[in-house]
Amino acid sequence: MIRIENVSKIYKVKERGGDEGDFYALKDVSLSVEDGSIYGVIGRSGAGKSTLIRCVNLLERPTSGRVFIDDTDMTLLDGQALRAARRKIGMIFQSFNLLSNRTAYRNIAFPLELNKRSKKDIDARVREIAALVGIDDKLDHYPSQLSGGQKQRVGIARALANSPDVLLSDEATSALDPQTTKSVLALLRDINKKLGLTIILITHEMNVIKEICDSVAVIEAGEIVEEGAVMNVFTNPQKSITKELVASVMNTELPDSFANLNFTQERSSESADVLLQLSFFGDIAAEPAMERLIRAFDVSVNILVAHIDHIRNMPYGTTIIQISGDGRDEALESLLNMRLKVEVIGYVSRSFRITG
Ligand SMILES: Nc1ncnc2c1ncn2[C@@H]1O[C@H](COP(=O)(O)OP(=O)(O)OP(=O)(O)O)[C@@H](O)[C@H]1O
Ligand SMILES: [Mg+2]
């Protein structure tokens, strides 16, 4: 378990008058990361993401607060003890940070050399880890001879060389195209599972969170403004920044075909049907739920929109339905009691039809 407790990081900055002032890059940040989970921190540029992740391995020393990895308070360590603790924490970067005058093999070997391992041990470990990340055929290549995705795989192999418990990822996919991003994220998920590795990753891209994270924290101006399980945050975002981020990767907007239709917020005699948006997790299919409604209540149900998205590998469905008939209020009430998120979009007249 990693616990960040009330961490603040203050930089001394020159203010306009020439005096020194305090700038809070992090302000009273607390969060905890379960062993074996993938924890994402998302925020805009300058929000404090890199500062936060660098406080975990003490590349930045917090101005106040504590950072625990299991029972070790990292902020109390320095010198040899800090170096030993850091060996259990790998790190990867947006710009890969490979040594250009060393081959892939010797980049991966580098932390093992620093750790004074024997040549034979190093060779075995380099080959093992290179196979795991899928670059065993590129070991004699120099970084300049590798693609971005291959470079990041070397970066990951190097970070894993000393068998760390924790991997810190600072925008590791931000320099990669979408397809390569997907494959590197799949690799991170794979090593998380295979090695039981805890991963903290920071990103400004919500699709990275959506693809692989278990939990997410949203950071703004040095403060965590929202935090929780990815499923909860995606289906029930609270803060406006979070809502924007979720909307950027989920189809939560009404389809264009709805734009010109007159549905009203209040029910009148002409607009008697209710238009609902239902969202649901897992494999609750829309049709059986609708059939149940029709059977149980005196209603007819028209499915106007249905699509399935995925958060991690969990299906997340969104359906827009129109309910008419005398039983619609009871039907609505029963829907509200199901494991669904139900939103009333508005009321429409019975002749309402979607046109493509
Ligand atoms: N050494 C420093 N001295 C003064 N201010 C700093 C220092 N390092 C970072 N900052 C400031 O702290 C804030 C947070 O920086 P940080 O690098 O953590 O942001 P970030 O969220 O990683 O941004 P990006 O997405 O652009 O990488 C920024 O406003 C930055 O200018
Ligand atoms: Mg950064």
Dig out the tokens for 115 from the structure: 């750790």
Quick check: CB of 26 below 6 Å from ligand 1?
A: no
- Top-confidence residue, 277 or 31: 31
- Looking at residue 265, its pLDDT comes to 81
- Taking alpha carbons only, the member of 355, 356, 335 closest to residue 344 is 335
**Which atom of ligand 1 is nearest the CA belonging to 204?**
25
Q: Whose CA is nearest to atom 29 of ligand 1?
A: 46
- Looking at residue 74, its pLDDT comes to 96
Q: Which ligand is nearest to the CA of 48?
A: 1
Q: CA–CA separation, 164 vs 185, rounded Å?
A: 18
Chain centre distance of CA 170:
13
Q: Is the pLDDT of residue 257 over 80?
A: no
Quick check: CB of 94 below 6 Å from ligand 1?
A: no
Give the CA-trace dihedral at 154, 155, 156, 157, to 10 degrees: 50
- Looking at residue 268, its pLDDT comes to 79
Quick check: CB of 46 below 6 Å from ligand 1?
A: yes
CA 26–ligand 1 middle distance (angstroms):
10
The number of residues in the chain equals 356
Q: Do 41 and 4 touch, CB atoms closer than 8 A? A: no
Q: By mean pLDDT, which of 22-26, 185-189, 209-213, 338-342 is the weakest?
A: 338-342
- Looking at residue 285, its pLDDT comes to 63
Give the CA-trace dihedral at 180, 182, 186, 187, to 10 degrees: 20
Q: Do 268 and 350 touch, CB atoms closer than 8 A? A: no
Quick check: CB of 13 below 6 Å from ligand 1?
A: yes
Mean pLDDT of 1-16: 94
- Looking at residue 356, its pLDDT comes to 47
Whether the predicted model's global pTM rises above the 0.75 cut: yes
State the angle between helix axes of 148-160 and 119-133 in degrees (0 to 180), rounded to the nearest 10: 130
CA 281–ligand 2 middle distance (angstroms):
33
- Looking at residue 289, its pLDDT comes to 74
Q: Is the pLDDT of residue 138 over 70?
A: yes
Q: Whose CA is nearest to atom 1 of ligand 1?
A: 11
Choices 3.30.70.260, 3.40.630.30, 3.30.160.160, 2.60.40.10: CATH for 256-348 = 3.30.70.260
Q: By mean pLDDT, which of 23-37, 191-205, 299-313 is the weakest?
A: 299-313
Q: Where are the beta strands (DSSP E) in the chain?
A: 2-14, 20-33, 38-42, 64-69, 72-73, 89-93, 166-170, 198-203, 215-220, 223-229, 273-281, 300-311, 314-324, 341-348
Q: Per-domain residue ranges for the chain?
A: 2-250, 256-348
Q: Do 226 and 31 touch, CB atoms closer than 8 A? A: no
- Region of 248 (left: φ > 0; alpha: ψ -120 to 50; beta: rest) is alpha
Q: Which ligand is nearest to the CA of 54?
A: 1
Q: How many CB atoms lie within 10 A of CB 9?
A: 22
- Top-confidence residue, 312 or 38: 38
- Looking at residue 253, its pLDDT comes to 67
CA 43–ligand 2 middle distance (angstroms):
9
Q: Do 299 and 327 touch, CB atoms closer than 8 A? A: yes
Quick check: CB of 48 below 6 Å from ligand 1?
A: yes
Q: Which of 7-16, 56-65, 333-342 holds the top average pLDDT?
A: 56-65
* Topology agreement, domain 2-250 and domain 256-348: no
Q: Which ligand is nearest to the CA of 204?
A: 1
Q: Confidence class of residue 146 from pLDDT cuts 50, 70 and 90?
A: very high
Q: Is the pLDDT of residue 118 over 70?
A: yes
- Looking at residue 261, its pLDDT comes to 67
Mean pLDDT of 126-131: 97
The residues, ordered by sequence, that sit 6+ positions from 142 with a Cβ below 8 Å of its Cβ are: 100, 101, 102, 103, 104
pLDDT tens-digit series, residues 152-197: 999 999 999 999 999 999 999 999 999 999 999 999 999 999 999 9
Q: Over the chain, what is the mean pLDDT?
A: 91
The residues, ordered by sequence, that sit 6+ positions from 143 with a Cβ below 8 Å of its Cβ are: 96, 98, 99, 100, 104, 107, 151, 154
- Taking alpha carbons only, the member of 300, 337, 341, 340 closest to residue 322 is 300
Q: Is the pLDDT of residue 120 over 70?
A: yes
Quick check: CB of 12 below 6 Å from ligand 1?
A: no
Q: Quick one: what percent of the chain has pLDDT higher than 70?
A: 95
Superfamily of segment(s) 2-250: P-loop containing nucleotide triphosphate hydrolases (3.40.50.300)
Q: Confidence class of residue 220 from pLDDT cuts 50, 70 and 90?
A: very high
Quick check: CB of 143 below 6 Å from ligand 1?
A: no
Quick check: CB of 51 below 6 Å from ligand 1?
A: yes
Mean pLDDT of 41-66: 97
Give the CA-trace dihedral at 64, 70, 76, 79, to 10 degrees: -130
Q: CA–CA separation, 93 vs 124, rounded Å?
A: 25
Q: Whose CA is nearest to atom 16 of ligand 1?
A: 48
CA 319–ligand 2 middle distance (angstroms):
38
User: For the chain, what is the radius of gyration of the CA atoms?
Assistant: 26
Q: CA–CA separation, 127 vs 119, rounded Å?
A: 12
- Looking at residue 310, its pLDDT comes to 84
pLDDT tens-digit series, residues 304-337: 888 888 888 788 888 888 888 888 888 888 888 7
